[in-house]
Amino acid sequence: MHSVVSSKRDLPVVVGIDGSRSHPETVDLAADQAARLRAPLLIVHVWPGHYSGAFRIRGAFPTQDDGAHLLDLAARRARLRIPDLDVSTELAGGSAAQVLVERSERARLLVVGHRDVILTRPSWGSTTAYLAHHGSCPLLVHRGVVPGRGPVVLAVSTRDGAAATTRYAFDEAAATGSRLVALHVWTYTGAASAGASPAGGFAVARRAADARLAEALEGWDARFPGVEVERLLVHDVDIGYTLERASRRGRLLVAGMGRSGRFVELLYGSLGGTLLRQTACPVLLVPPGWTVPGPARAARGTRRPAAARRH
């Protein structure tokens, strides 16, 4: 009988591509992740069909043959980058968001890219923003550049289930030999504690936030003794500026995934529009309670991609 962990080790890294200008680099990022995790790579393209919504394609609709050709080129690119990588492809139909959410239920990691530069829409696009709240596995969002240096920046939460995000960030820092910056956002409304002045209340609130951050990180240094950790408290009024700097100077941002959360919304909302004009590092979002499996197995020989499914 296989354990839950061993079954997760056999799950693929899934990358969703849409033919945008950034999708080749997104495939590269996914192939690198699959090789590091010793997992197979599944490349998925959702054929848009005859969608007639507000953001429909202007001009001729791409055909299923166009989608199959796009997948073939992506698979060739992945194999050229990682020759012994196990690569397969899938051409699906329907809603891209729903298809990728379903694939995330049987994936070790889901990799997508943000939308090309369209200033009138959210920078990540509606599909990626939806996945940021509803995916079942960790979501890695390519945002234009994959730095080879810089710290891993972890948005530390004190909520239940946040240990999965912390573990993932420490794993990434250890695997890349990076420093870990543990960032915790705190709020002070101006109400002083009982018997304290407003200035004293601010100091009390900050010390309490620092104590919560220390508690959330307790024990992780012993489990990852080679990872240098820097603790950083950020008042909520400064979070936009801090995330902008971290996106330009870090190699990876790691945060928790959920159905709500201002931190994630800042990443793909108005702040994302600012970052889109710059080079921004990838973002990794981790579902609550996610168990991080070990490497699957040594990468096997190249396998021809599965025949594309036509709907």
Domain boundaries, the chain: 1-108+293-311, 144-281
Calculate the alpha carbon distances from 113 to 8, 124, 183 in Å: 23, 8, 24
Question: What contacts 245, CB < 8 A, 6 or more positions away?
Answer: none
Calculate the alpha carbon distances from 43 to 62, 230, 297 in Å: 18, 36, 20
> Which of 16-20, 82-86, 165-169 shows the lowest per-residue confidence on average (mean pLDDT)?
16-20
Q: Which residue has the tokens 């010793």?
A: 38
**Of residues 164 and 258, more confidently modeled:** 164
Pick the CATH number of 144-281 from 3.40.50.300, 3.40.50.12370, 3.40.228.10, 3.40.190.10: 3.40.50.12370
Q: How crowded is the C-beta side of 132, counted as CA atoms within 13 Å?
A: 24
Q: d(Cα 244, Cα 247) in Å, to the nearest integer?
A: 5
Is-contact 172 284, C-beta < 8 A? yes
Cα dihedral across residues 258, 263, 265, 267: positive or negative: negative
At residue 204, does pLDDT exceed 70?
Answer: yes
Is-contact 71 91, C-beta < 8 A? yes
List, in sequence order, the alpha helices (H) in the chain: 4-9, 23-37, 64-81, 96-104, 125-134, 163-176, 198-217, 220-223, 239-249, 262-268, 270-275
Which tokens belong to 133? 């709240």
What pLDDT does residue 297 have? 38
**Going edge to edge, which strands form the sheet with 180-186?**
87-93, 41-47, 13-17, 109-113, 139-142, 283-286, 252-256, 152-155, 180-186, 229-235
pLDDT category of residue 148 using cuts at 50, 70 and 90: confident
pLDDT category of residue 146 using cuts at 50, 70 and 90: confident
Is-contact 189 177, C-beta < 8 A? no
What pLDDT does residue 156 have? 87
Q: Would you say the CATH fold of 144-281 matches that of 1-108+293-311? A: yes
Helix (H, G, I), strand (E, B) or coil at 16: strand
Query: Residues 223-264: pLDDT tens digits?
Result: 999 999 999 988 877 777 788 888 888 999 999 886 555 566
- The chain-wide mean pLDDT, for the chain, equals 78
> Looking at the domain covering 1-108+293-311, what would its CATH class be?
alpha beta
Helix (H, G, I), strand (E, B) or coil at 197: coil
Average pLDDT over every residue of 296-303: 37
**Of residues 100 and 205, more confidently modeled:** 100
At residue 25, does pLDDT exceed 80?
Answer: yes
What pLDDT does residue 306 have? 38
Closest-CA residue to 43 (of 91, 98, 101, 94) = 91
Indicate the pTM of the whole model.
Answer: 0.81
Question: What contacts 26, CB < 8 A, 6 or more positions away?
Answer: 15, 17, 111, 112, 113, 142
At residue 134, does pLDDT exceed 80?
Answer: yes
